[in-house]
């Protein structure tokens, strides 16, 4: 029994202790500060109590600390100075005690000593006569301390309360006033009510007053952004590791954006109670493949004025302007004028290999002048034209060709957005590795049709506003690159990990290996999910296969890769197809199988057993991505070139075997060890790390070994 007791104790200790292993304690620091030589007393005397009490000035003495009142009237107030600048700025003050060495007790009538503050101004350093004035000090900064507990030739300890602890100056000097409560209350003495403590001075008065401070020093945290996993077309799992909690509990969150977005675009929100060494992940959804890109201040327009239209329209060099607005079109006044605009967008953040699904150029209108039957047309001359920055030679019409999209000029609006949708030709100009440079011309300019009046539209440039009304290029691709980072926050501040990126997948992988195992009234179906799929969509029909993911009867829609169709008739034939699915996105292709249930007159009298759930599952470690060290294990697998699923399977088997051997070592009971291993395999199977059939194989082998050992 003792062996089992030890096993039980060990299990309980692990169960109780594991939740606390990751906790990072906040260690308290303590410092003792000694009073400066400026510490001393201010004393006023007068035959009239009110005059002595309310005096604006007094005599001052360094090195002596007298507190109290004497009939006559003589009133003493003491002041102590401590350089507490070494206490960390972010420290939390836990306890403060003031030690004063008793040298004289004349408190024939006992009184309470009050610690007060006049900081930052009072008292001065060194003491001056005006530091005596009672109205310059306020508050009660200590727990009750009465002169009845006064000890001589020893330290008297006065404990500061929360108010007093709040007076500790972490960036300079802490200055405290010591005053009799009777003095505070303007209560005249009837005899001797005074005590004296040893101060600090150059003549060697000792022991000195001292201030003992304990505090919890904390600092800003630090976190590492780890690679994203479980990435689909619409979802991803973001990972982080808390490197340093700064000495206290931290909250974590992620920020992310796509295109030329900003960190504030998407924030998951701070949450949790995390400490140094903790891992953290967050699933995000609603990802889309649309990014917005803003033009640079290089955008501008080039124009030519000439008395002959063909000369202006065919000019090789024009006049370059970078004003607050850009001009597109032609007009005729004294001369012909032709103006062409140019906009530049850095579209390199777009993912390599992406297909442009849709693109829109958005221009914020400024003015319109008689825009009749003509269009604003997008053209391009990349990679060379236009130059960045613009040069006069960029006006040359021979550099540009094609129609990438247009808008009717008569629909142009001022003080609002005008949108030009790219056609297939224009979408092909979007540069995934650098700048997308676009030219905007009048259709009359392109056809060399001379104007008869003023045909112009204007739009705001990036030189007017690089944010709210600057030209925008909105691009939707079949995939998107997101930039994300982890953030850790405690009471001392917020820190961000280095940014990382991930690309949403451009499709959901096709499923495969759909097969069926029929009985007379059911069909057990199994398949392999496609890469990047969260769900499987299984459908069936009689007489032919479902034509798409909405046709036929929905049998199953979930995260698994197996399902049993029940309630069927003997000899019934079903045509089954399964699609992989993530969000509302389905795989392009499917896996299919035609299965007929078994025939027989004994229908209903027997069942054909089917494989247990997860019996032949493929290991999928993403189900344990929340475990500490998940990223470390995956990185280790990658460093050896071993598939992550195989590495996790081997790791699980190693720990299961080690646990089984440990159980046998402690219990000396083979049957118990076998059961422990079988249960452990079952748990690992539920985590989708190990196929379920391994439990059966192990049980059979262990049983055989057990019988062999008994025969020996």
Q: What is the pLDDT of residues 321-374, one digit of tens each?
A: 988 899 999 999 889 999 999 999 999 888 877 778 889 999 999 988 876 689
* b/e sequence 366-387, b meaning 16+ C-beta within 10 Å: bebeebeebbbbbbbbbeebbb
Regarding the domain with residue range 222-287+480-503, which homologous superfamily does it belong to in the CATH classification?
A: Immunoglobulins (2.60.40.10)
Sheet order of strands, 523-528 included: 512-518, 523-528, 562-565
Chain centroid to Cα 425, Å, comes to: 40
pLDDT digits (tens, 9 = 90+) for 47-104: 999 999 999 999 999 888 999 999 999 999 999 999 999 998 878 899 999 999 999 9
Q: Where on the phi/psi map is residue 215: left (φ > 0), alpha (ψ -120 to 50), or beta? A: beta
CATH topology of domain 28-216: Jelly Rolls (2.60.120)
- CA quadruple 629, 634, 640, 644: dihedral, nearest 10: 130
User: Which residue reads 């598939």 in tokens?
Assistant: 643
pLDDT of residue 222: 94
Rounded to an integer, what distance in angstroms lies between the CA atom of residue 195 and that of residue 113?
10
What are the angstrom distances between the C-alpha of 414 and each of 368, 409, 548?
Answer: 7, 12, 47
Architecture of the domain made up of 512-596: Sandwich (2.60)
Please determine whether the domains at 28-216 and 512-596 fall in the same fold group of CATH: no
* b/e sequence 115-138, b meaning 16+ C-beta within 10 Å: bbbbeeebbeeebeebbbbbebbe
Residue spans per domain, the chain:
28-216, 222-287+480-503, 293-477, 512-596, 621-711
pLDDT of residue 634: 76
pLDDT digits (tens, 9 = 90+) for 99-152: 999 999 998 899 999 999 999 999 999 999 999 999 999 999 999 999 999 999
pLDDT of residue 648: 80
Rounded to an integer, what distance in angstroms lies between the CA atom of residue 67 and that of residue 78?
6
Rounded to an integer, what distance in angstroms lies between the CA atom of residue 222 and that of residue 488?
6
What predicted TM-score, i.e. pTM, was given to this entire model?
0.46
The stretches in the chain having pLDDT less than 70 are: 1-28, 201-206, 371-372, 465-467, 506-507, 532, 600-618, 623, 625, 638-639, 641, 695, 699, 702-712
């Amino acid at each position: 029994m003792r062996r089992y007791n030890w096993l039980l104790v060990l299990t309980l200790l692990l169960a109780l202790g594991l939740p606390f292993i990751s906790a990072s304690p906040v260690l308290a620091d303590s410092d003792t500060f000694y009073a400066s030589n400026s510490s001393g007393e201010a004393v006023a005397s007068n035959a009239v109590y009110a005059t002595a009490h309310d005096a604006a000035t007094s005599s001052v003495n360094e090195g002596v600390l007298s507190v109290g009142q004497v009939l006559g009237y003589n009133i003493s107030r003491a002041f102590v100075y401590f350089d507490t600048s070494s206490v960390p700025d972010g420290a939390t003050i836990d306890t403060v005690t003031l030690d004063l060495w008793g040298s004289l007790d004349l408190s024939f009538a006992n009184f309470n000593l009050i610690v007060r503050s006049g900081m930052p101004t009072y008292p001065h350093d060194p003491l001056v006569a005006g530091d005596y004035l009672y109205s310059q000090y306020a508050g009660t900064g200590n727990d009750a301390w009465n002169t009845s507990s006064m000890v001589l030739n020893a330290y008297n300890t006065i404990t500061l309360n929360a108010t007093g602890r709040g007076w500790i100056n972490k960036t300079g000097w802490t200055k405290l006033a010591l005053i009799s409560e009777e003095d505070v209350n303007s209560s005249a003495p009837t005899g001797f009510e005074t005590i004296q403590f040893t101060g600090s001075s150059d003549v060697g008065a000792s022991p000195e007053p001292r201030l003992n401070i304990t505090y919890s020093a904390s600092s800003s945290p630090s976190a590492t952004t780890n690679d994203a996993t479980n990435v689909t077309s619409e979802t991803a799992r973001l990972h982080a590791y808390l490197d340093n909690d700064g000495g206290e509990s931290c909250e974590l969150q992620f920020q992310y954006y796509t295109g030329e977005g900003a960190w504030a675009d998407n924030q998951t929100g701070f949450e949790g109670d995390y400490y140094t060494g903790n891992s953290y992940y967050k699933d995000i959804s609603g990802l889309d493949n649309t990014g917005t890109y803003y033009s640079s201040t290089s955008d501008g327009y080039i124009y030519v004025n000439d008395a002959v239209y063909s000369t202006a329209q065919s000019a090789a060099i024009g006049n370059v302007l970078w004003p607050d607005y850009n001009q597109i079109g032609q007009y005729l006044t004294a001369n012909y004028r032709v103006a062409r605009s140019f906009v530049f967008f850095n579209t390199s953040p777009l993912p390599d290999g992406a297909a442009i699904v849709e693109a829109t150029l958005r221009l914020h209108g400024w003015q319109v002048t008689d825009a009749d039957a003509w269009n604003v047309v997008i053209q391009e001359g990349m990679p060379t034209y236009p130059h960045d920055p613009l040069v006069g030679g960029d006006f040359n019409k021979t550099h540009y060709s094609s129609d990438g999209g247009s808008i009717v000029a008569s629909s142009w609006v001022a003080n609002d957005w005008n949108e030009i949708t790219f056609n297939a030709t224009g979408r092909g100009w979007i540069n995934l590795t650098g700048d997308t440079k676009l030219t905007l011309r009048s259709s009359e300019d392109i056809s060399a049709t001379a104007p008869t009046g003023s045909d112009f539209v204007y739009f705001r440039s990036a030189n007017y506003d690089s944010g709210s009304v600057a030209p925008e290029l909105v691009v939707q691709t079949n995939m998107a690159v997101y930039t994300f980072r982890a953030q850790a926050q405690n009471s001392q501040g917020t820190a961000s990990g280095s940014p990382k990126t991930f690309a949403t997948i451009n499709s959901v992988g096709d499923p495969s290996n759909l097969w069926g195992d029929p009985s007379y009234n059911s069909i057990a179906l199994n398949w392999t999910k496609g890469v990047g799929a969260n769900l499987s969509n299984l459908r069936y029909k009689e007489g032919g296969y479902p034509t798409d993911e909405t046709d036929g009867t929905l049998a199953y829609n979930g995260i698994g890769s197996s399902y049993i169709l029940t309630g069927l008739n003997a000899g019934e034939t079903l045509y089954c197809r399964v699609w992989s699915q993530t969000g509302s996105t389905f795989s392009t292709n499917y896996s299919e199988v035609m299965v007929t249930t078994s025939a027989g007159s004994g229908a209903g009298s027997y069942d054909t057993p089917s494989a247990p759930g997860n019996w032949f599952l493929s290991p999928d470690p993403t189900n344990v991505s929340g475990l500490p060290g998940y990223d470390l294990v995956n990185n280790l697998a990658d460093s050896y070139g071993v598939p992550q699923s195989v590495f996790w399977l081997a790791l699980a088997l190693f720990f299961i075997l080690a646990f089984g051997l440990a159980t046998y070592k402690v219990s000396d009971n083979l049957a118990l060890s076998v059961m422990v291993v079988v249960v452990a395999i079952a748990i690992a199977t539920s985590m989708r790390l190990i196929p379920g059939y391994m439990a059966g194989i192990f049980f059979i082998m262990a049983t055989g070994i057990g019988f062999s050992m008994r025969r020996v």
